[in-house]
Structure 1
Amino acid sequence: MYIVEFSPGGSDDGSGVVTLLEVLLNLINDPSIIFDQVHLIVLFTSAEELSLGGAEAFISNHTWKASVRRFINIDSTGSSGKAILFRVKPSQVVVDYARVPRPHANVIGNEILDLLGRDTDYSEFATRGLLPGYDFAFYLDGYSYHTLLDRPSTVEEGALQHLGENTLALSREILLGRVNLQQSYNTVEDDNLVYFDLLGRYLTTYKMSTSTIVQAILIGLVVLVGILMIVFDHLWQRKHPSSDDFLSIYFYFNYAIMMRISFIFIFIISSLLSIIVGILLPVVVAFLMSKIQPLSWFGNSTLAFFLFGLPCLIGMISAEALWAICYRWILAKWPKKDSSHMKSVDIDPVNRRSFDSERHVALLLVYAILMIISICLGYRSLYMILIWSIFVCPIYLLLILTEFSFRWIHYQVPRFFGERRWYWTFAPYIASLFPLIHSFEMTSRLLCMTMPMMGR
């Protein structure tokens, strides 16, 4: 525990001191805990802001170091909000933290701090001391961090309560023997657990190997179903050339199979381009703002969200709209069949709205590409790709199979909203609800955490 010389240290790290003292008071007055069987060390270090001198001295010289089986480090980069489990090593011990009343943790924070190379007392214990443990910290409202404004009055009481309750609950789990302290961990070759909380109520954990297997299964299903659907549908259409094809417009054109495959690849490229444009446009806005009025969004996360979020949305929508124009132009230029033998001779295939399986297969293949990238890179913070894929891909696969099955057996399902079925409007949106909420929550957290850092 240490503060910079010019700061009152209300949050960093006065909040940690009072939390530890209150937790200690509760533990020593808990009759269910017998300290003859398990020991508790409360360590207040010094020189953390200079060179981690206190933690280094304990790890290097103290005889008690060999007896430590778990450690809990309490730090702060903010003064309000829930205290997050920023880092944990080895990742397997995060399952013990899942038992606290209101877990607040995400593996993205772990990888961000590792990327920034930020060292705290936790670094000495986990990296140099090779001890398993946890690193907790406030991260919201970090504008007063290491300043004269870091007064005790700025620390939110609810934040202290949340940190204290979770620290006390985790300490009791350890001291009451509900945690296997004799299990050995390899803290060097670790990082195989992904973890994140759901709205601050439940902690989800799974292994990276599980993520790889699930993504590989989804990739296989997407590729297999996409190929089989196009091939079988093409064979079916050749046997029923006079059918009123309300599911696809491609059989009104020559070289239908070539056209369908070509459009799948073009749809994939257009989707990837929309993502790239959606990323590049906010970068351009950021560059222009840095020249016109640097840090104009500092202190206002809502302004930052709209300042950079809207260009991202506009870029993606514009790219898709441009492709829609090109799509209709290609349809108009592609050679058409003689439609005299078809039932729907009065229908213009260029302007017809129909079930476009190629677009949906292409969307699934985009998810497959993203999952392949996630597997190859191996970053745990890319778990968001799996979250989106596991909710979106199955529903699209199910609907594609349903549409084709009804078509092949000549079963006419009642239509709503014209030729497009109602579930194509609502089902994907409903399936995307959970990953969308989680994505917005994580975006908000990252903005609130990183924005104060920009002014340091």
Structure 2
Amino acid sequence: MRRRPEISSEKPSAASQEPSSESEIDQKDAGAKVRVNSPRRSPFVFLTLFALTVYSSWSVYQHQFQSLPAPITAEQAGKRGFSEIEALKHVQALTDLGPHSVGSDALDLALEYVLEAAKNIKEKAHWEVDVDVEAFHVRSGANQMAGGLFMGKTLLYSDLNHVVLRILPKFESEAAQNAILVSSHIDTVFSTGGAGDCSSCIAVMLELARGISQWAGFKHAVIFLFNTGEEEGLNGAHSFVTQHPWNETVRMAIDLEAMGIGGKSGIFQAGPHPWAIENFASVAKYPSGQIIAQDFFSSGAIKSATDFQIYKEVAGLSGLDFAYTDNSAVYHTKNDKLELLKPGSLQHLGENMLSFLIHSAASPHLPKGNAMEQEENKGQNAAIFFDILGTYMVVFRQNFANMLYNSVIIQSLLIWITSLLMGGYPAAVSLALSCLSIILMWILALGFSVLIAFILPLVSSSPVPYVANPWLVVGLFAAPALLGALTGQHLGYLFLQTYLSTVYSKRKLLSPAVQADLIKLESERWIYKAGSVQWLILLAMGNYYKIRSSYLALVWLVPPTFAYGLLEATLSPARLPKPLKLATLLMGLAVPILISAGIFIQLAGTVIGTMVRFDRNPGSTPEWLGNVIIAAFIAAVICLTLVYLLSYVHLSGAKRSIVLATCLLFGLSFTAVFLGIVPPFTEDTARAVNTNKTD
């Protein structure tokens, strides 16, 4: 918005002639005196801000995703608690059998082990609880999926064996007709013992069943399904919901999965009905789950599927889908082994599930499964959820999100329209040029990082040389992306300065020196405000297409805009532009970093880990494609999250330091890859490749 310079004809008092802590420019024109804060900012200020942002983001990630509860023993847990130490005994026993894929003798031994463990739980159950254990055999079946990884395919299966354990109260006559299903799979792929996928889940279920069997006062039954055939195409879950006599009693399904080994097991799919996620959020001890993971998974970006798809599509059930995602590079490889399972991982999932199952089984209401398709089609009751630092979970429904997003969008548009009407043509052009800086930032950030993505396969022995050492992507892709983002935004800043110079040259009240400083200050403000335009567009698009993770756009739009309006407008009586306050940036970025920094880092780690399986059949896809995906993702995150911070660099001397630091970081990382100093794979991180067995 165009601002009229404030001119005072008053003579300076003695007090005003004393040296000021702020650098000021005094210019006398026709007896008038204009004071403008110096546009210079110390380079150390920006570098400190940048370091503080990086440190805060990493701290949020560590607390949100890497802080795990301490494992406890059976004595500490008691009869009704959950003990990771006891659960690990089951993981050890199953992984000692080696790979146990469908049709193998090892799988028969794994089934026998789980069956014996289930019978032991039955023998020691509380006297007010009935425990039913059975070995369920399926002769044959046909599984046809409507969507997802197996869309359009008909999967035939036969001779599958499962273990089913049901816990229900003796004195609740209706309990057997209303059950909560907890499910995971015993079978593994042919190359691994499956400590993570999914012996860890089976172990958690056995320990949960032991603990729940000691409780009384339930109103509903809890069914634990230890199925096989999941790795062949979700066949175990399909056979249960289509052929087992208890399938009609299930009202809600909980699936436990692993797309890595250990860490926090978070919810990455929930619904369609919000009952499960709302109740989980209210009782979980360490709530963990992100709706952005659900959007990411359902988009097909990750070529995978879980039993939850069967429960939702075939059985019409609602519920929750959990998964481990740490160290996802070992998924479906020989390195999915017990030694890499992080201590506290099973304790985290077990305590969350125990609290949720006890609460749900005692609840007087459970969602009715067959009505869930209507709820999903309406979409208004769909849940949006995310956790804050792994200690508190926020859940709200889509209809509330629509009202909130529409309100913010309308208010933002009204503010911008009012500003442009008051500022006139110069304000409209300034807005356009500041938005051009955003476009240039994206183009150059993507261009620099993607260029490196094409070069890497030419100089490295592996097309993905960073899988075993994910930190390499900071130098290989993040550094070029940051350099490109800074360059693009600075070009827009210079274009904006050129235009404002033309506007200010028509004003005769100020000298060229004062005008030059005012132009720099006003340009900085326009560049900062352009960041909010970027997030406003994303919020509007996300709201229109009902993308549930659009709350991230809201978080990155409202606090920085509010901080600017409060500190730079409401509490700043001066009419002339001033350098943006540091408090504006700190206040504006505190909430976005708290809510989203950990998510972006965790998601980046998951995407990097999946690249080891991106080209399962060497030669079937270009070697550069995986790198381009990683480079584009990292560049997008940098452009989205650093847009406000970079606006502070143009008035400081930190640009040269940033350019040198990013070039040095990239050079060191590239050299390490080129010379093979950092190996692309290690003993604990191997590439997953499909093979054809021949006789």
> What's the TM-score once normalised by structure 1's chain length?
0.83
Structure 1 Cα separation of the partners of residues 378 and 314 of structure 2: 15
Q: In the alignment, is residue 105 of structure 1 matched against residue 292 of structure 2?
A: no
Structure 2 Cα separation of the partners of residues 70 and 221 of structure 1: 40
Cα distance change on mapping 1:295 and 1:178 into 2, 3 Å: farther
Aligned to 2:222: 40
* Structure 1 stretches of 4+ moved >6 Å: none
- CA shift digits 1:41-62 (9 cap, x unpaired): 1111111111322211111112
Are the aligned partners of 2:253 and 2:318 in contact in 1 as well (CA < 8 Å)?
yes
Q: Aligned-pair distance for 1:76?
A: 1.2
After superposition, where does 1:242-391 map in structure 2 within 5 Å?
257-293=424-460, 294-333=463-502, 336-337=505-506, 339=508, 342=509, 344-345=510-511, 347-352=513-518, 353-354=520-521, 358-359=526-527, 361-391=529-559
Are the aligned partners of 1:211 and 1:386 in contact in 2 as well (CA < 8 Å)?
no
Cα distance change on mapping 1:306 and 1:377 into 2, 3 Å: farther
Structure 2 Cα separation of the partners of residues 190 and 305 of structure 1: 42
Structure 2 Cα separation of the partners of residues 269 and 338 of structure 1: 26
Aligned to 1:96: 279
Per mean C-alpha deviation after superposition, the further-off stretch among 45-54 and 429-438 is: 429-438
After superposition, where does 1:433-448 map in structure 2 within 5 Å?
433-448=590-605
1:161 to 323, 347, 361: 347
The amino acid of 2:343's aligned partner reads E
Aligned to 1:135: 321
Per mean C-alpha deviation after superposition, the further-off stretch among 330-339 and 14-23 is: 330-339
Aligned to 1:420: 578
Cα distance change on mapping 1:258 and 1:123 into 2, 3 Å: closer
Structure 1 Cα separation of the partners of residues 273 and 482 of structure 2: 35
Fraction of identical pairs, as percent: 22
Structure 1 Cα separation of the partners of residues 366 and 306 of structure 2: 26
Q: In the alignment, is residue 204 of structure 1 matched against residue 391 of structure 2?
A: no
Cα distance change on mapping 1:128 and 1:112 into 2, 3 Å: same
Structure 2 Cα separation of the partners of residues 190 and 101 of structure 1: 31
Are the aligned partners of 2:437 and 2:492 in contact in 1 as well (CA < 8 Å)?
yes
Structure 2 Cα separation of the partners of residues 208 and 312 of structure 1: 34
The amino acid of 1:420's aligned partner reads K
Are the aligned partners of 1:74 and 1:135 in contact in 2 as well (CA < 8 Å)?
yes
Structure 2 Cα separation of the partners of residues 136 and 95 of structure 1: 15
- CA shift digits 1:424-444 (9 cap, x unpaired): 332233221221243321122
- The RMSD of aligned alpha carbons is 2.6
- CA shift digits 1:188-219 (9 cap, x unpaired): 42653211111111111122333333232223
Q: Aligned-pair distance for 1:171?
A: 0.8
The amino acid of 1:59's aligned partner reads V
Are the aligned partners of 1:268 and 1:362 in contact in 2 as well (CA < 8 Å)?
yes
Cα distance change on mapping 1:134 and 1:386 into 2, 3 Å: same
- CA shift digits 1:391-440 (9 cap, x unpaired): 22222233454268x357xxx9xxxxxx7267x33223322122124332
Are the aligned partners of 1:108 and 1:380 in contact in 2 as well (CA < 8 Å)?
yes
Cα distance change on mapping 1:168 and 1:209 into 2, 3 Å: same
Are the aligned partners of 2:434 and 2:493 in contact in 1 as well (CA < 8 Å)?
no
Q: Aligned-pair distance for 1:231?
A: 4.2
Structure 1 Cα separation of the partners of residues 535 and 368 of structure 2: 42
- CA shift digits 1:240-272 (9 cap, x unpaired): xxxxxxxxxxxxxxxxx4323211221122223
Cα distance change on mapping 1:178 and 1:78 into 2, 3 Å: farther
The amino acid of 1:11's aligned partner reads G
Q: Aligned-pair distance for 1:349?
A: 0.8
Aligned to 1:29: 214
User: Matched residue pairs, number?
Assistant: 416
Aligned to 1:253: none
Cα distance change on mapping 1:179 and 1:203 into 2, 3 Å: farther
Q: In the alignment, is residue 216 of structure 1 matched against residue 216 of structure 2?
A: no
Structure 1 Cα separation of the partners of residues 540 and 319 of structure 2: 32
Are the aligned partners of 1:301 and 1:447 in contact in 2 as well (CA < 8 Å)?
no
Structure 2 Cα separation of the partners of residues 48 and 398 of structure 1: 55
Structure 2 Cα separation of the partners of residues 225 and 105 of structure 1: 35
Q: Aligned-pair distance for 1:131?
A: 0.9
Are the aligned partners of 2:273 and 2:372 in contact in 1 as well (CA < 8 Å)?
no
Aligned to 2:384: 194
Cα distance change on mapping 1:273 and 1:376 into 2, 3 Å: farther
Aligned to 1:19: 204
Cα distance change on mapping 1:302 and 1:437 into 2, 3 Å: farther
Cα distance change on mapping 1:335 and 1:133 into 2, 3 Å: closer
Are the aligned partners of 2:437 and 2:488 in contact in 1 as well (CA < 8 Å)?
yes
Structure 2 Cα separation of the partners of residues 440 and 338 of structure 1: 45
Q: In the alignment, is residue 115 of structure 1 matched against residue 284 of structure 2?
A: no
Q: In the alignment, is residue 393 of structure 1 matched against residue 561 of structure 2?
A: yes
1:174 to 344, 350, 360: 360
Q: Aligned-pair distance for 1:372?
A: 1.9
Q: Aligned-pair distance for 1:378?
A: 2.3
Secondary structure of residue in 2 paired with 1:33: coil
The amino acid of 1:87's aligned partner reads Q
The amino acid of 1:95's aligned partner reads E
Are the aligned partners of 2:265 and 2:345 in contact in 1 as well (CA < 8 Å)?
yes
The amino acid of 1:9's aligned partner reads G
Are the aligned partners of 1:222 and 1:397 in contact in 2 as well (CA < 8 Å)?
no
Aligned to 1:54: 236
Cα distance change on mapping 1:437 and 1:335 into 2, 3 Å: closer
Secondary structure of residue in 2 paired with 1:42: strand
- CA shift digits 1:290-344 (9 cap, x unpaired): 33322111122221233222222211111122223333333445573362xx3x5
Cα distance change on mapping 1:453 and 1:39 into 2, 3 Å: same
Unpaired segments ≥5 residues, structure 2: 1-184, 614-695
Are the aligned partners of 2:437 and 2:527 in contact in 1 as well (CA < 8 Å)?
no
Are the aligned partners of 1:91 and 1:190 in contact in 2 as well (CA < 8 Å)?
no
Structure 1 Cα separation of the partners of residues 280 and 411 of structure 2: 35
Structure 1 Cα separation of the partners of residues 408 and 452 of structure 2: 36
Cα distance change on mapping 1:338 and 1:148 into 2, 3 Å: closer
